[in-house]
Protein backbone atom coordinates (compact mmCIF):
# COMPACT_ATOMS: atom_id res chain seq x y z
CA UNK A 1 0.00 0.00 0.00
CA UNK A 2 1.33 3.47 -0.86
CA UNK A 3 1.14 6.34 1.66
CA UNK A 4 1.71 10.04 1.01
CA UNK A 5 4.26 12.29 2.76
CA UNK A 6 1.41 14.13 4.49
CA UNK A 7 0.22 10.95 6.16
CA UNK A 8 3.63 10.11 7.71
CA UNK A 9 4.99 12.73 10.23
CA UNK A 10 8.48 11.12 10.02
CA UNK A 11 8.61 11.37 6.22
CA UNK A 12 7.13 14.87 6.43
CA UNK A 13 10.03 15.97 8.69
CA UNK A 14 12.67 14.36 6.40
CA UNK A 15 11.06 16.07 3.40
CA UNK A 16 11.21 19.50 5.14
CA UNK A 17 14.89 19.06 6.15
CA UNK A 18 15.89 17.96 2.68
CA UNK A 19 14.03 20.90 1.06
CA UNK A 20 15.70 23.35 3.47
CA UNK A 21 19.14 21.87 2.65
CA UNK A 22 18.50 22.24 -1.08
CA UNK A 23 17.49 25.89 -0.67
CA UNK A 24 20.57 26.65 1.47
CA UNK A 25 22.86 24.85 -1.02
CA UNK A 26 21.42 26.84 -3.91
CA UNK A 27 21.79 30.19 -2.05
CA UNK A 28 25.36 29.29 -1.02
CA UNK A 29 26.43 28.37 -4.55
CA UNK A 30 24.98 31.65 -5.89
CA UNK A 31 26.88 33.69 -3.24
CA UNK A 32 30.09 31.83 -4.19
CA UNK A 33 29.48 32.54 -7.87
CA UNK A 34 28.83 36.26 -7.53
CA UNK A 35 31.48 37.03 -4.85
CA UNK A 36 34.87 37.24 -6.65
CA UNK A 37 36.89 36.13 -3.61
CA UNK A 38 34.66 33.11 -3.08
CA UNK A 39 34.12 32.11 -6.69
CA UNK A 40 35.64 28.73 -7.29
CA UNK A 41 36.94 27.29 -10.52
CA UNK A 42 35.80 23.99 -11.93
CA UNK A 43 39.17 22.70 -10.74
CA UNK A 44 38.71 23.77 -7.16
CA UNK A 45 37.34 22.20 -4.04
CA UNK A 46 33.73 23.25 -3.60
CA UNK A 47 32.62 23.39 0.06
CA UNK A 48 29.33 21.49 0.53
CA UNK A 49 26.50 22.27 2.93
CA UNK A 50 27.30 19.26 5.13
CA UNK A 51 30.95 20.37 5.50
CA UNK A 52 32.31 17.77 3.12
CA UNK A 53 34.50 18.70 0.17
CA UNK A 54 33.63 17.73 -3.40
CA UNK A 55 36.57 17.49 -5.80
CA UNK A 56 35.08 18.36 -9.19
CA UNK A 57 35.72 15.74 -11.85
CA UNK A 58 35.80 18.48 -14.51
CA UNK A 59 39.06 19.99 -13.26
CA UNK A 60 40.57 22.31 -15.88
CA UNK A 61 44.27 21.75 -16.33
CA UNK A 62 46.18 24.24 -18.49
CA UNK A 63 47.66 21.40 -20.58
CA UNK A 64 48.20 23.55 -23.66
CA UNK A 65 48.50 27.34 -23.35
CA UNK A 66 48.80 30.15 -25.90
CA UNK A 67 50.70 33.12 -24.54
CA UNK A 68 50.23 36.27 -26.64
CA UNK A 69 52.99 38.21 -24.85
CA UNK A 70 52.88 41.15 -27.28
CA UNK A 71 50.13 42.76 -29.33
CA UNK A 72 52.47 44.74 -31.59
CA UNK A 73 52.90 43.63 -35.19
CA UNK A 74 54.60 44.74 -38.40
CA UNK A 75 51.79 43.34 -40.62
CA UNK A 76 48.28 44.65 -41.14
CA UNK A 77 46.13 41.58 -41.85
CA UNK A 78 42.63 43.00 -42.27
CA UNK A 79 40.98 40.12 -40.38
CA UNK A 80 43.38 40.06 -37.40
CA UNK A 81 41.65 39.11 -34.11
CA UNK A 82 44.52 39.97 -31.75
CA UNK A 83 45.29 43.62 -32.40
CA UNK A 84 47.72 46.23 -31.01
CA UNK A 85 45.40 47.59 -28.31
CA UNK A 86 48.41 48.02 -25.96
CA UNK A 87 52.18 47.99 -26.43
CA UNK A 88 52.74 46.35 -23.03
CA UNK A 89 55.12 43.41 -22.60
CA UNK A 90 55.90 41.93 -19.17
CA UNK A 91 59.50 42.05 -17.90
CA UNK A 92 61.28 38.76 -18.66
CA UNK A 93 61.46 37.60 -15.02
CA UNK A 94 57.72 38.17 -14.53
CA UNK A 95 56.85 36.28 -17.70
CA UNK A 96 59.08 33.43 -16.52
CA UNK A 97 57.40 33.45 -13.10
CA UNK A 98 54.01 33.08 -14.80
CA UNK A 99 55.26 30.24 -17.00
CA UNK A 100 56.55 28.44 -13.91
CA UNK A 101 53.12 28.79 -12.26
CA UNK A 102 51.53 27.28 -15.37
CA UNK A 103 53.99 24.38 -15.37
CA UNK A 104 53.19 23.71 -11.70
CA UNK A 105 49.47 23.70 -12.63
CA UNK A 106 50.03 21.00 -15.28
CA UNK A 107 51.07 22.80 -18.48
CA UNK A 108 52.71 20.47 -21.04
CA UNK A 109 52.69 22.67 -24.12
CA UNK A 110 53.30 26.39 -24.52
CA UNK A 111 52.70 28.27 -27.74
CA UNK A 112 54.08 31.79 -28.09
CA UNK A 113 51.99 34.09 -30.24
CA UNK A 114 51.09 37.75 -30.61
CA UNK A 115 51.04 40.25 -32.32
CA UNK A 116 54.26 39.25 -33.93
CA UNK A 117 56.39 37.36 -31.37
CA UNK A 118 59.71 37.95 -33.23
CA UNK A 119 59.30 41.74 -33.04
CA UNK A 120 60.11 42.44 -29.36
CA UNK A 121 63.88 42.78 -28.79
CA UNK A 122 64.40 41.36 -32.30
CA UNK A 123 63.32 37.90 -31.19
CA UNK A 124 65.68 37.70 -28.19
CA UNK A 125 62.86 38.02 -25.64
CA UNK A 126 61.05 35.16 -27.38
CA UNK A 127 64.27 33.11 -27.59
CA UNK A 128 64.86 33.49 -23.85
CA UNK A 129 61.31 32.33 -23.11
CA UNK A 130 61.72 29.34 -25.43
CA UNK A 131 65.02 28.43 -23.75
CA UNK A 132 63.53 28.82 -20.26
CA UNK A 133 60.51 26.64 -21.08
CA UNK A 134 62.58 23.82 -22.54
CA UNK A 135 65.71 23.88 -20.37
CA UNK A 136 64.42 25.06 -16.98
CA UNK A 137 60.79 23.95 -17.05
CA UNK A 138 61.45 20.89 -19.25
CA UNK A 139 58.16 21.30 -21.11
CA UNK A 140 57.45 18.49 -23.59
CA UNK A 141 56.41 20.98 -26.25
CA UNK A 142 57.46 24.56 -27.01
CA UNK A 143 56.05 26.18 -30.15
CA UNK A 144 55.66 29.56 -31.86
CA UNK A 145 53.19 30.98 -34.36
CA UNK A 146 54.60 33.82 -36.44
CA UNK A 147 54.12 35.66 -39.71
CA UNK A 148 57.75 34.72 -40.40
CA UNK A 149 58.89 38.10 -41.68
CA UNK A 150 61.32 38.91 -38.83
CA UNK A 151 63.03 35.54 -38.39
CA UNK A 152 66.77 35.38 -39.02
CA UNK A 153 68.98 32.30 -39.40
CA UNK A 154 70.95 33.46 -36.32
CA UNK A 155 67.83 32.91 -34.22
CA UNK A 156 67.73 29.23 -35.22
CA UNK A 157 71.44 28.87 -34.42
CA UNK A 158 70.91 30.31 -30.94
CA UNK A 159 67.52 28.94 -29.92
CA UNK A 160 66.48 26.31 -32.49
CA UNK A 161 67.45 23.31 -30.31
CA UNK A 162 64.85 24.29 -27.70
CA UNK A 163 61.97 24.79 -30.12
CA UNK A 164 59.69 21.87 -31.06
CA UNK A 165 57.35 23.47 -33.61
CA UNK A 166 57.37 26.67 -35.66
CA UNK A 167 54.05 27.58 -37.32
CA UNK A 168 54.17 30.19 -40.07
CA UNK A 169 50.94 31.83 -41.18
CA UNK A 170 50.31 31.90 -44.91
CA UNK A 171 46.84 32.50 -46.31
CA UNK A 172 47.66 32.55 -49.99
CA UNK A 173 50.33 31.50 -52.51
CA UNK A 174 49.36 34.44 -54.68
CA UNK A 175 51.32 37.58 -53.66
CA UNK A 176 48.57 39.89 -54.87
CA UNK A 177 46.11 38.21 -52.51
CA UNK A 178 48.59 38.54 -49.64
CA UNK A 179 48.85 42.27 -50.41
CA UNK A 180 45.04 42.58 -50.43
CA UNK A 181 44.77 40.76 -47.11
CA UNK A 182 47.58 42.85 -45.56
CA UNK A 183 49.71 39.76 -44.88
CA UNK A 184 52.87 41.56 -45.98
CA UNK A 185 55.31 44.37 -45.25
CA UNK A 186 56.18 46.53 -48.22
CA UNK A 187 56.86 44.57 -51.38
CA UNK A 188 58.64 41.60 -49.74
CA UNK A 189 57.44 38.18 -50.90
CA UNK A 190 55.66 36.37 -48.09
CA UNK A 191 55.79 33.08 -50.00
CA UNK A 192 59.56 33.22 -50.71
CA UNK A 193 60.11 33.83 -47.03
CA UNK A 194 57.90 30.87 -46.14
CA UNK A 195 60.13 28.58 -48.25
CA UNK A 196 63.29 30.01 -46.66
CA UNK A 197 61.98 29.34 -43.15
CA UNK A 198 60.84 25.86 -44.11
CA UNK A 199 64.42 25.06 -45.15
CA UNK A 200 65.85 26.49 -41.92
CA UNK A 201 63.40 24.36 -39.95
CA UNK A 202 64.75 21.29 -41.72
CA UNK A 203 68.37 22.37 -41.23
CA UNK A 204 67.97 23.21 -37.52
CA UNK A 205 65.61 20.32 -36.72
CA UNK A 206 62.43 22.22 -35.86
CA UNK A 207 59.03 20.79 -36.90
CA UNK A 208 57.45 23.07 -39.51
CA UNK A 209 53.75 23.89 -39.50
CA UNK A 210 51.52 26.21 -41.59
CA UNK A 211 48.42 28.17 -40.50
CA UNK A 212 45.93 29.58 -43.02
CA UNK A 213 42.88 31.77 -42.44
CA UNK A 214 40.21 31.11 -45.05
CA UNK A 215 38.36 34.29 -45.99
CA UNK A 216 36.61 35.96 -48.93
CA UNK A 217 39.96 36.73 -50.64
CA UNK A 218 41.43 33.19 -50.74
CA UNK A 219 38.39 30.91 -50.47
CA UNK A 220 38.48 29.88 -54.16
CA UNK A 221 42.19 29.07 -54.19
CA UNK A 222 43.55 25.54 -54.53
CA UNK A 223 46.64 25.34 -52.31
CA UNK A 224 47.06 21.56 -52.54
CA UNK A 225 50.24 21.49 -54.62
CA UNK A 226 51.99 24.21 -52.63
CA UNK A 227 51.19 22.62 -49.29
CA UNK A 228 52.23 19.12 -50.43
CA UNK A 229 55.50 20.56 -51.68
CA UNK A 230 56.22 22.36 -48.39
CA UNK A 231 55.20 19.21 -46.48
CA UNK A 232 54.42 20.70 -43.03
CA UNK A 233 53.75 18.39 -40.05
CA UNK A 234 50.34 20.08 -39.70
CA UNK A 235 48.34 22.50 -41.82
CA UNK A 236 45.83 24.36 -39.66
CA UNK A 237 42.99 25.78 -41.71
CA UNK A 238 40.85 28.34 -39.85
CA UNK A 239 37.51 29.78 -40.88
CA UNK A 240 37.91 33.55 -40.43
CA UNK A 241 36.53 34.41 -36.98
CA UNK A 242 35.02 37.68 -35.74
CA UNK A 243 35.79 38.88 -32.22
CA UNK A 244 34.01 41.94 -30.89
CA UNK A 245 36.45 44.66 -29.78
CA UNK A 246 39.27 43.17 -31.91
CA UNK A 247 38.07 42.91 -35.52
CA UNK A 248 34.39 43.81 -35.17
CA UNK A 249 32.33 46.45 -33.38
CA UNK A 250 32.96 50.07 -32.44
CA UNK A 251 36.09 49.72 -30.30
CA UNK A 252 37.86 47.45 -32.79
CA UNK A 253 41.09 48.32 -34.61
CA UNK A 254 40.11 46.09 -37.56
CA UNK A 255 36.88 45.65 -39.51
CA UNK A 256 36.87 42.02 -40.61
CA UNK A 257 33.24 41.64 -41.69
CA UNK A 258 34.26 41.78 -45.38
CA UNK A 259 36.56 38.75 -44.82
CA UNK A 260 33.98 36.47 -43.23
CA UNK A 261 32.78 33.36 -45.12
CA UNK A 262 29.81 31.04 -44.54
CA UNK A 263 30.31 27.58 -43.04
CA UNK A 264 29.17 25.98 -46.34
CA UNK A 265 31.83 27.82 -48.36
CA UNK A 266 34.44 26.85 -45.78
CA UNK A 267 33.39 23.20 -46.15
CA UNK A 268 33.83 23.47 -49.95
CA UNK A 269 37.38 24.74 -49.41
CA UNK A 270 38.05 21.76 -47.13
CA UNK A 271 36.63 19.29 -49.68
CA UNK A 272 38.85 20.78 -52.39
CA UNK A 273 41.84 20.06 -50.15
CA UNK A 274 40.83 16.62 -48.95
CA UNK A 275 43.95 15.20 -50.62
CA UNK A 276 46.20 16.94 -48.08
CA UNK A 277 46.75 14.45 -45.24
CA UNK A 278 48.15 16.95 -42.70
CA UNK A 279 45.12 19.30 -42.95
CA UNK A 280 43.51 20.12 -39.58
CA UNK A 281 40.29 22.14 -40.08
CA UNK A 282 38.93 24.63 -37.56
CA UNK A 283 35.49 26.08 -38.11
CA UNK A 284 34.39 29.08 -36.01
CA UNK A 285 32.52 26.73 -33.69
CA UNK A 286 35.56 24.55 -33.07
CA UNK A 287 37.90 27.48 -32.63
CA UNK A 288 36.05 29.97 -30.44
CA UNK A 289 36.41 28.49 -26.94
CA UNK A 290 38.87 25.67 -27.46
CA UNK A 291 42.05 27.66 -26.84
CA UNK A 292 43.48 28.73 -23.50
CA UNK A 293 44.59 32.25 -24.36
CA UNK A 294 46.81 34.38 -22.12
CA UNK A 295 47.18 38.05 -23.01
CA UNK A 296 50.16 40.38 -22.46
CA UNK A 297 49.32 40.72 -18.73
CA UNK A 298 48.96 36.95 -18.35
CA UNK A 299 45.17 37.17 -18.06
CA UNK A 300 43.05 34.39 -19.55
CA UNK A 301 40.73 35.65 -22.27
CA UNK A 302 37.17 34.31 -22.30
CA UNK A 303 35.63 34.32 -25.82
CA UNK A 304 32.21 32.85 -24.93
CA UNK A 305 30.37 36.16 -25.42
CA UNK A 306 31.98 36.76 -28.81
CA UNK A 307 34.60 39.14 -27.36
CA UNK A 308 37.76 38.63 -25.28
CA UNK A 309 36.82 39.15 -21.62
CA UNK A 310 39.93 39.10 -19.40
CA UNK A 311 40.32 37.29 -16.08
CA UNK A 312 42.63 38.60 -13.38
CA UNK A 313 46.31 37.94 -14.04
CA UNK A 314 47.72 34.57 -12.99
CA UNK A 315 50.58 36.63 -11.50
CA UNK A 316 48.10 38.19 -9.01
CA UNK A 317 45.60 35.43 -8.24
CA UNK A 318 47.30 32.22 -9.40
CA UNK A 319 46.37 29.84 -12.22
CA UNK A 320 43.49 28.06 -10.50
CA UNK A 321 41.52 31.23 -9.80
CA UNK A 322 42.26 32.89 -13.16
CA UNK A 323 41.47 29.82 -15.26
CA UNK A 324 37.93 29.68 -13.89
CA UNK A 325 37.28 32.84 -15.96
CA UNK A 326 38.86 31.47 -19.16
CA UNK A 327 35.66 30.07 -20.71
CA UNK A 328 37.79 27.16 -21.91
CA UNK A 329 35.91 24.26 -23.52
CA UNK A 330 38.16 21.28 -22.81
CA UNK A 331 35.91 18.85 -24.74
CA UNK A 332 36.09 20.96 -27.89
CA UNK A 333 39.87 21.23 -27.41
CA UNK A 334 40.02 17.42 -27.64
CA UNK A 335 37.46 17.25 -30.49
CA UNK A 336 39.50 19.68 -32.63
CA UNK A 337 42.59 17.48 -32.11
CA UNK A 338 44.26 19.91 -29.68
CA UNK A 339 46.22 17.05 -28.13
CA UNK A 340 48.64 15.44 -30.58
CA UNK A 341 52.27 14.31 -30.78
CA UNK A 342 53.78 17.69 -29.99
CA UNK A 343 57.39 16.98 -28.92
CA UNK A 344 59.78 16.93 -31.85
CA UNK A 345 61.60 14.05 -30.13
CA UNK A 346 58.45 11.90 -30.57
CA UNK A 347 57.66 12.94 -34.16
CA UNK A 348 60.18 10.70 -35.90
CA UNK A 349 60.84 13.33 -38.53
CA UNK A 350 63.41 12.86 -41.26
CA UNK A 351 65.76 15.78 -40.96
C1 LIG B 1 46.93 36.53 -34.11
S2 LIG B 1 48.15 35.65 -35.00
C3 LIG B 1 49.63 36.04 -34.12
C4 LIG B 1 50.88 35.39 -34.65
C5 LIG B 1 51.45 35.94 -35.95
N6 LIG B 1 51.43 37.34 -36.02
C7 LIG B 1 50.78 35.30 -37.13
O8 LIG B 1 50.03 35.97 -37.83
O9 LIG B 1 51.03 34.11 -37.33
C10 LIG B 1 47.86 33.93 -34.53
C11 LIG B 1 47.09 33.12 -35.57
O12 LIG B 1 45.77 33.60 -35.61
C13 LIG B 1 45.36 33.63 -36.96
N14 LIG B 1 44.26 34.60 -37.08
C15 LIG B 1 44.33 35.93 -37.02
N16 LIG B 1 43.11 36.50 -37.19
C17 LIG B 1 42.24 35.49 -37.36
C18 LIG B 1 40.83 35.42 -37.58
N19 LIG B 1 40.08 36.51 -37.65
N20 LIG B 1 40.26 34.21 -37.68
C21 LIG B 1 41.01 33.07 -37.60
N22 LIG B 1 42.34 33.07 -37.38
C23 LIG B 1 42.95 34.27 -37.28
C24 LIG B 1 46.63 34.05 -37.69
O25 LIG B 1 46.58 33.79 -39.07
C26 LIG B 1 47.66 33.21 -36.97
O27 LIG B 1 47.78 31.95 -37.56
S1 LIG C 1 47.40 37.96 -37.98
FE2 LIG C 1 48.55 39.47 -39.19
S3 LIG C 1 48.21 41.46 -38.21
FE4 LIG C 1 47.54 39.85 -36.78
S5 LIG C 1 49.28 39.54 -35.48
FE6 LIG C 1 49.47 38.03 -37.13
S7 LIG C 1 50.65 39.01 -38.76
FE8 LIG C 1 50.02 40.60 -37.32
Provide the β-strand partners of residue 64.
109
**Which residues contact residue 161 at a Cβ distance below 8 angstroms, ignoring those fewer than 6 apart?**
134, 204, 205
pLDDT of 335 reads: 86
Q: Which residues of the chain are under the pLDDT cut of 50?
A: 1-57
For ligand 2, atom 4, the nearest C-alpha belongs to 80
Q: Which of 21, 32, 80, 133 is flagged as catalytic? A: 80
Answer yes or no: are the C-beta atoms of 118 and 155 closer than 8 Å.
yes
pLDDT of 336 reads: 87
Closest CA to 323 of 137, 58, 116: 58
Break the chain into its structural domains and give their ranges.
11-39, 63-347
**Ligand 2 centroid vs 47 CA: distance in angstroms?**
44
Read off the pLDDT of residues 290-300 as tens digits, 9 standing for 90 and up: 889 999 999 99
Based on the residue annotation, tell me whether 77 is a catalytic residue of this protein: yes
Q: For domain 63-347, give its CATH number from 3.50.50.60, 3.30.1330.10, 3.20.20.70, 3.30.930.10.
A: 3.20.20.70
Distances, alpha carbon 306 to alpha carbons 47, 90, 246, 252, 295, in Å: 32, 26, 10, 13, 16
Ligand 1 shell residues, CB under 6 Å = 73, 79-82, 113-114, 116, 145-147, 169, 211, 213, 238, 240-241, 247, 256
Which ligand is nearest the CA of 144, by number? 1
Would you give the distance in Å from CA 99 to the centre of its chain?
A: 15
Amino acid sequence: MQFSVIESPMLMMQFCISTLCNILASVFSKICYWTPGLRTSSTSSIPQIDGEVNQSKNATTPTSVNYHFTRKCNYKCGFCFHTAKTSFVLPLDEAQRGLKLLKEAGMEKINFSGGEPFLHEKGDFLGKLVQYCKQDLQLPSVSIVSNGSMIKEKWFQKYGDDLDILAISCDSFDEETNQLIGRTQGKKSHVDNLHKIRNWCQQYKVAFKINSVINTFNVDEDMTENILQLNPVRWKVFQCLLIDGENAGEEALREAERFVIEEQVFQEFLERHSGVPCLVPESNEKMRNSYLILDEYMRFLDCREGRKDPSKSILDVGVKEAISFSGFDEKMFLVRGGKYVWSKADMKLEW
